[in-house]
Structure 1
Amino acid sequence: MRNIQFFSTDTDDGVVSVVAKTGPGEHRRVAQIPVGNAPRGGVKFTRDGRGFVCNTSQNTISEIDAVALTEVRRIEVGHGPRGQGMVPGDRYLLVSNSGSNSISVVDLELNTEIHQIPTGRDPRHMGISADGRTAWVCVWGEGYISKLNISALGSDNPAGITEISRIPVDREAHPYSLAIDPSGRKVFVANTQATFVTVIDAQTDQTQRVDVGFIGGRAVAFTPDGRHALVTVESISRVYVIDVNTLRVVRHVPVGPGPRGLVVDPGDDTAYITNFARANMMHSGDNHPLYGPNSLTMVDLSSAPLDRDEGTFTYEEVHVGYGPCSVVMFDLDTLSAEERARRVEHASTEA
């Protein structure tokens, strides 16, 4: 039996909803963790289950415990925090402050902000390379990706972080979030106000566009084999499937209304998508599942081909809180039984 949890950031409720999964088709909502006002972005976890989420309207991030399912503390950062990146090694967390036009560096041993890096207007979500040397940040308000050299964090020198380049997307495109493909060679960018996905060569900074036909790009994830990029397109309630090698759209998958967050469980090829819409936005004649807002749509990616428009996918639904904007996965089996027991005992003592 698997021991997986999905964490849905529910903006309108001020909570993180937790959905437990013990196997394919075996889901149940087990908790809602109150955090700060207007939480945004996916929870970022350390390997030992410390999770962090932005409280956009309170200029803080909340730490939550993946085992005890409680809020542990709040850490002050800049104004309007919206996106985060966990630096490999779990010592530092980067937080994009959309209201301060900066990136906070948070020391997770000291549990405090120790530095801020100026950026362009309204930075949003980011990605960090597997070697912990480079970060790419969506600068939503100015239409470019800020590429940062963060290798100085390896020597505990946050003041040494520098901007390598500004990679143009389009000033009116409003790049929102991005993800680095499993090979580390390409960065896929979802743009909220452009009808294309931007793909960046991680080494040369050269860009290409992949036309999806509609505005409203929100999140990017990849299939476990790395062959396909999945992009949520909020305005049309679909997930677009892009061949990573050819950069062609090979299929689109109808999902629930207003999809934003996206994560794929590599254990069984299931995609989880948050339906952010505050009202039902079904598109008739497009084979959309009859699911409402404020839910997770689950799509069995192995139930139909991804590389061609053939067959119908198998779906499920679980309701979460209001305004779910992001979803992430944490595997409790990566923690030892002793660590899980210690964390639960610590939480009960603190209570």
Structure 2
Amino acid sequence: MKTNAMLGAALTAVALAAATLAEAGQVPGSLAAADIPVSHRDRVYSSDQFSNTVSIIDPAANRLVGVIRLGEPTPANFSPLYHGQLLVHGMGFSPDHRTLAIVSIGSNSVTFIDTQTNAVKHVTYVGRSPHEAFFTPDGKEVWVTVRGENYVDVLDGKSFEEKTRIVVPAGPGMQIFSPDGKYGYICSSFNPETDVVSVADHKVVARVTQASPFCPNIAATPDGRQVWFTLKDVGKTQVFDARPPFALLKTLDTGPITNHVNIVQNAHGMFAYVTVGGLNQIKVFRTDDFSQVATIAVGSLPHGIWPSGDGTRVYVGLENGDALTAIDTLTNQVVATVPVGQAPQAVAYVPDAVPDGDGTANTQPLGAAGEATHVMLIPVGGTAADHGAAPTSVALFDQGLLQVLQAAVTGLQAGQPYFLGLSDHADGSGRIDVLASFKANPAGSAIVNTLGQIRQVVVPGTPGVSDHRRYLVIAPSVGGAPGPAVQVQAL
């Protein structure tokens, strides 16, 4: 009798655990929503900033389906831009999983795409340099953070036309909503303030102080209890209570170029996954006690991140690696890496995005959108094995004869001015020709961009090129001119 009682209790516990997992909903939905197992009907999307594409992955096969081309590579964008989009960057999706909202920061637009057909349904033009867009949980509105101005543009969820604007401090970075649709949380990229807005009347009801002005990304937990946001300039992640009085709960030191954060609920509990671009890592934290439980090496400059519909996977965009990495959340191991377009930014996992067919309509092969060269800069006097001390990754994204150079620089003195340049010598000695000037942020890091025929002179053996070899270097600004190099190109 005692054995039967114990067996009954055990079976009850198993049943309760199974019931809990069956209703362990994922962001941006609520915890009460049912999990959706990974299938060939699901899609993972990345917004590819320098190829101006949206890459599409079948997560059940970890295979690139194709890309949606929204714009042309540079230098086509130097002429008047009457058609097409530039600097494809932000991404959101509708609650019914049938519409993507793609933000292009260079052409001030939100492109709405049908997930079944991959066709553009509508393009809405907004204010200067929008950053992110997301649907409210009821699908009735789309909020667009217009980072180059001081408002969130509220669009109708069906017509995609502007309804109203919510005035906030200059530089709104991103917004996300409480799972019940009551609040919108809007962090800032120019001011140290996150605003909490009532969705019903678009009124600011509370303000949360950020530890720094530059927040690029924000996420709400599916249980409606917490909001997490990242601070790229100081390498921190903060957490506040998602309910009144919206008290700050925790500040975590996550590392240089802290990019995005998202929430995963799985059999082990609820976790926040944070992409740390300057360390080429994902850091994983429990949401109950904020303890760090894993560090995952993923590749060059991890940026956007989103979980599968059942929380068993997260997908991470490698901005300087031209790929999406899939991570098993139960083991926190990388299980696949799939090539995508140039410099993936935001990532979205949309369950049941393609209910019928193969979902290849209106897509193109990756082609030139996947062409890039990668190099590393290391401290002067060091070796390639020392790159962990200053893991500066450089990607040269091919645009035909030109390349867009992007350097994820770390290991510098905070707040100091520097130059990225070319030297005739591998050790950085002698004259340095400046490609770009920049200032290291408070975490001693920076994202540096420039454009030119750079691969031809810094990569040996470039076909058809006989120019004199040059070397990428980073040097401090001394009296407005380059001083002795502090980082040089790894050979």
TM-score, reference length from structure 2: 0.59
Q: Would the aligned equivalents of 1:191 and 1:215 in 2 still touch at CA under 8 Å?
A: no
Q: Give the whole-Å Cα distance in 1 for the aligned partners of 2:296 and 2:230.
A: 16
| SS of corresponding position for 2:278 | helix
- The one-letter code matched in structure 1 to 2:263 is F
- Aligned position for 2:209: 168
| Structure 1 residue 196 displacement after superposition | 2.3
Q: Which has the larger radius of gyration?
A: 2
Pairs aligned (count): 307
Asked if structure 1 preserves the Cα contact closer than 8 Å seen for 2:281 and 2:296, the reply is: yes
1:296 corresponds to 2:324: yes
Match of 1:181 in 2: 221
2:276 is the counterpart of 1:236: no
Change (3 A) 1:89 1:208: closer
Quick one: percent identity of the two aligned structures? Answer: 19
Query: For the Cα contact (< 8 Å) 2:284–2:294, is it kept in 1?
Result: yes
Decide which of 123, 136, 151 is 2:200's aligned counterpart: 151
Please give the residue correspondences for 1:1-351 in structure 2 after superposition, counting only pairs within 5 Å.
Answer: 2-21=40-59, 23=60, 26-35=61-70, 36-152=85-201, 161-172=202-213, 174-203=214-243, 204-225=245-266, 226-267=269-310, 269-277=312-320, 293-303=321-331, 313-332=333-352, 335=355
> Which has the larger displacement, 39-48 or 70-79?
39-48
Q: How far apart in 2 are the matches of 1:224 and 1:266?
A: 10
What's the CA shift string for 1:128-177, capped at 9, x where partnerless?
1122121001111002111111113xxxxxxxx111122101235x1221
Aligned 8 A contact 1:126 1:136 in 2: yes
Deviation at residue 255 of structure 1 after TM alignment: 0.9
Letter in 2 for 1:250: V
Q: CA deviation at 1:90?
A: 1.2
User: SS where residue 235 of structure 1 aligns?
Assistant: coil
| Change over 3 Å in CA distance of 1:195–1:122 after alignment to 2 | same
- Deviation, 1:121, is 1.6
| 1:73 partner SS | strand
Q: Deviations over 1:8-49 (max 9, x none)?
A: 10011111111113x3xx221112112221121223234051
Q: Counterpart of 1:271 in 2: which secondary structure?
A: strand
CA distance in 2, matches of 1:206, 1:331: 33
Partner in structure 1 of residue 405 of structure 2: none
After superposition, the Cα gap between the structure-2 partners of 1:108 and 1:227, relative to the gap in structure 1 and judged at 3 Å, is closer
Within 2, Cα distance between the matches of 1:4 and 1:40?
21
- 1:176 aligns to what SS in structure 2? coil
Write the distance in 1 (CA, Å) between the matches of 2:301 and 2:155. 32
Per-residue CA deviation, residues 27-75 of structure 1 (Å, 9 max, x unaligned), is 2111211222112122323405121111111121001110111222211
CA change 1:110–1:70 in 2 (3 A) is closer
Question: Is the alpha carbon distance of 1:314 and 1:34 closer, same or farther for their aligned partners in structure 2, counting shifts above 3 Å?
Answer: closer
Distance 1:124 1:143 in 2: 11
Note the alpha carbon deviations across 1:224-278, whole angstroms, 9 max, x for none: 235211111111111111111111222211112100100111436121100012x
**What amino acid maps onto 2:275 in structure 1?**
T
Amino acid aligned to 2:200: S
Q: Which residue of 2 is the match for residue 310 of structure 1?
A: none
Q: 2: CA distance between counterparts of 1:139 and 1:121? A: 7
In 2, the alpha carbon distance for the partners of 1:109 and 1:151 equals 17
Q: Against the structure 1 CA distance between its residues 114 and 314, is the aligned structure 2 distance closer, same or farther, given a 3 Å change threshold?
A: closer
Counterpart-to-counterpart distance in 1, 2:290 and 2:209: 19
Q: Give me the whole-angstrom Cα distance separating, in 1, the residues matched to 2:293 and 2:144.
A: 34
Q: Distance in 2 between matches of 1:124 and 1:270?
A: 26
Over 3 Å counting, the alpha-carbon distance change for 1:98 and 1:314 in structure 2 is closer
Secondary structure in structure 2 of the residue aligned to 1:183? coil
1:79-137 Cα distance to aligned partner (Å, 9 max, x none): 21111221122121000001121100101222211211211121111111122121001
Q: Which runs of 5+ in 1 are unaligned?
A: 153-160, 278-292, 305-312
Query: Post-superposition, which runs of at least 4 consecutive aligned residues in structure 1 deviate over 6 A?
Result: none
Mapped partners of 1:129, 1:122: distance in 2: 21
Q: Aligned partners of 2:204, 2:246: CA distance in 1, in Å?
A: 13
Task: Sort the Cα spacing of 1:40 and 1:314 in 2 relative to 1 into closer, same or farther, 3 A.
Answer: closer
Shift of 1:332: 2.5
Q: Deviations over 1:197-230 (max 9, x none)?
A: 1110112221133433512221111222352111
SS in 1 for 2:62: strand
**Matched position secondary structure for 1:332:** coil
Q: Residue type matched to 2:228 in 1?
A: F
For the Cα contact (< 8 Å) 1:102–1:116, is it kept in 2?
A: yes
